[in-house]
């Protein structure tokens, strides 16, 4: 599998927080303290820029926190 570059949107497997991660690093530490291995973590979305990844994180958090999803 080729090496991914850019920024990914991921979710913490412990607290379910959605965050962005720089794919040039091997791990990402969540605010809850859980360390995520980026090689084993499911990437929800991948973007070339950090700004695009941050916008997607905000969109996903808003959808998650409203508690309503359309059918």
Give the residue numbers spanning the domain of 15.
7-66
Residue 28 lies in a domain: yes
Alpha-carbon distance values, 11 to 23, 64, 66, 71 (Å): 14, 12, 17, 23
Structure confidence at residue 64 (pLDDT)? 80
Residue 1 lies in a domain: no
Overall domain count for the chain: 1
Residue 36 lies in a domain: yes
Residue 2 lies in a domain: no
Structure confidence at residue 20 (pLDDT)? 97
CATH label of the domain that carries residue 61:
3.90.820
pLDDT by residue (tens digit) across 2-61? Answer: 577 899 999 999 999 999 999 999 999 999 999 999 999 999 999 999 999 999 999 998
Residue 31 lies in a domain: yes
Residue 14 lies in a domain: yes
Residue 52 lies in a domain: yes
Assess contact for 34 and 62: CB atoms under 8 A. Answer: no
């Amino acid at each position: 599998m080729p090496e991914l570059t850019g920024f990914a949107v991921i979710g913490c497997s412990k607290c379910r927080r959605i965050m962005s991660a720089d794919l040039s690093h091997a791990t990402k530490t969540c605010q809850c303290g859980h360390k995520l291995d980026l090689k084993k973590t499911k990437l929800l979305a991948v973007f070339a820029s950090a700004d695009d990844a941050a916008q997607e994180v905000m969109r996903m958090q808003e959808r998650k926190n409203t508690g309503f999803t359309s059918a």
